Structure 1
Amino acid sequence: MPATPASLLETLVPPAVPADIRLVVTDMDGTLLDDAKRMPDGLWPVLAELRRRGVLFSPASGRQYATLARQFAEVAEGMVFIAENGTYVVRDGVELGSDPLERFVAAGVARTVRRLAADGVDVGAVVCGKRSAYVERADEAFLAEVRKYYVEHRVVEDVTAVEDEVIKVALFDFGPVERTTAPALEAFAATHQVVVSGEHWVDVMNGTAGKGAALRGLQRELGITPAQTMVFGDYLNDLEMLDAADWSFAMSNAHPEVVRRARHLAPSNNDNGVLRTISRVVGIPL
């Protein structure tokens, strides 16, 4: 793998026969969506053509399943959603797999967030269950961030007492999460996944969880190889997912570690990079 991947649109000659892609998996924020959180122009016709060709398109996101299902409502039938950073995989409303987080771990993370907040860190926890997300902070600034990713959410008095199967705990820090909040979770990192998923978000998940594990499970179930898989990502929670595909793409404005890990660069999320790359490799005109 090259130290710095080459830009696909600069170096790849369109194949005489389109590549044998059977599965396209893309992160959402910073990847498929532009910085204003908008779906790219031309997405629905491309998804229709992929479906016609028998290519499965799968969003893989830290977002909640309910949020993803709403975003793709008009084309959701038959689509596999890799939700909650891979901890919850659903197709047509039926769970294909999940990797729940132990309740005592979720409670420990919540208590850590409370201590950080008491010390003046502007942070809040989102305890993510299969039915809903749960938060203790009720200020509008925090809830506005939660709504972007968790359409099903509830404000509760104590997130450690919710009656739901917890699959991860997401933390939102109004400052750079890698400076303050992520280091405070080091005690959990020895046994669990502590994954920075954005400038302000970090997730704590079971040690066996992640987008990469979910994708590999999906490949096994469907009989699809890494050579038949195309993956797009931009942030650290996408790294293992990129490893599961021969056609792995970092967005040109991705985190530097993601750029180093991917085999190719795609144009940025603000330049319709996912669809332009699919068009080039699979041979679908935009």
Structure 2
Amino acid sequence: MDLSNIKMVVTDMDGTLLNSKHEVSDQFFELFYKLNQRGIRFVAASGRQYHSMADKLEVIKDDVIFIAENGALVKRKDEELSSTPLNQEVKSELLAVVDQIDNAHVMLCGKYTSYFDGNSKQFLNQLKEYYSAYQIVEDYQKVTDEIVKIAVYHATSAEDYIYPKVSYLEDKLKVKVSGRNWVDFNHVNAHKGNALQKVMDQYNIKPDQLLVFGDYYNDLEMLQLSDYSFAMANAHPNIKRVANFETTSNDDFGVERVLEKLL
């Protein structure tokens, strides 16, 4: 495996760059500075909101390209590179469907803040890890902010209890099981693959110059863009089938081990 031509590194966050405690390792930051010195660009791509991603990467955020909300928002420094909001009618239809699912909790995700109805304190404690900027509202239908993603949480299994009841919406929305507890809904054109392709075009990056890491379904399209796509050892089995390579788990420095080889 020859990584000598790599000019851009892209990594998912939860389950990939972040360990199980939602931490970025000190080792990664040391490697990042070496990548930066070599002119290798770094892209963080997540289902998280921009502010949550920036908080995790605070010390390097000015040198990071952020693909947030599964690709619905792309930002670098103070520049918004692209935004792909949901259609209002589709948003209303989805909220009505999710309202009928037992134990499902909803977040409306604007570009820079999110909205929660406050009905579950347990869910509120969960979302604080992923959404550092949020507001509690009484009625989702009255939220006038531009919504780029709707995230739905199930404490047991989103893939088993939410996805089967909403999969029929895939002709209208990008529906992604983004983790054990989450299903994310974006505009059909808003996914990490489309967002990353825009970044690649801007910086003239080819598939053999791109190194990508991921672990779950919302990473699928961006993994397919790279000749050097890596699934984590903890990745969903279907992601391992798509990726060209595999590394160790997020708790065993899977990203860092490959970056060491790159450097």
1:38 is aligned with what amino acid? E
Aligned to 1:54, the other structure's residue is in SS state coil
Instruction: Tell me whether 1:22 sits opposite 2:22 in the alignment.
Output: no
1:207 deviates by 0.9
Instruction: Tell me whether 1:97 sits opposite 2:82 in the alignment.
Output: yes
1:78 deviates by 3.1
Measure, in 1, the Cα distance between the counterparts of 2:179 and 2:4: 31
Matches within 5 A, 1:135-174: 135-174=116-155
| Larger RCO, structure (CA 8 Å, separation 6 or more) | 1
The runs of at least 4 consecutive aligned structure 1 residues that moved more than 4 Å come to none
Measure, in 2, the Cα distance between the counterparts of 1:53 and 1:279: 13
Measure, in 1, the Cα distance between the counterparts of 2:220 and 2:186: 15
1:99 is aligned with what amino acid? T
Aligned to 2:63, the other structure's residue is in SS state coil
Deviations 1:9-51 (A, max 9, x none): xxx5xx5xx5111110000111111111111231111111111
Measure, in 1, the Cα distance between the counterparts of 2:95 and 2:184: 12
Q: Is the 8 A contact 2:50 2:112 kept in 1?
A: no
Structure 2 equivalent of residue 264 of structure 1: 245
Measure, in 1, the Cα distance between the counterparts of 2:171 and 2:87: 15
Give the structure-1-normalised TM-score.
0.89
Give the structure-2-normalised TM-score.
0.97
Q: Is the 8 A contact 1:138 1:155 kept in 2?
A: no
Measure, in 2, the Cα distance between the counterparts of 1:141 and 1:29: 20
Matches within 5 A, 1:239-258: 239-258=220-239
1:255 is aligned with what amino acid? H
Structure 2 equivalent of residue 197 of structure 1: 178
Q: Is the 8 A contact 1:128 1:169 kept in 2?
A: yes
Measure, in 1, the Cα distance between the counterparts of 2:61 and 2:249: 25
Relative to structure 1, the CA distance from residue 78 to residue 41 in structure 2 (aligned partners, 3 Å threshold; closer, same or farther) is: closer
Name structure 2 gaps, 5 residues minimum.
none
Q: Is the 8 A contact 2:61 2:77 kept in 1?
A: yes
The equivalent position to 1:58 in structure 2, one of 43, 46, 49, is 43
Worse-matched range after superposition: 264-273 or 32-41 = 32-41
Instruction: Tell me whether 1:74 sits opposite 2:55 in the alignment.
Output: no
Deviations 1:227-278 (A, max 9, x none): 1000000001111110011110000121000000000001111100001111
Structure 2 equivalent of residue 122 of structure 1: 103
Aligned to 2:112, the other structure's residue is in SS state coil
Matched positions, count: 263
Structure 1 equivalent of residue 91 of structure 2: 106
Measure, in 2, the Cα distance between the counterparts of 1:253 and 1:187: 28
1:107 deviates by 1.8
Name structure 1 gaps, 5 residues minimum.
1-11
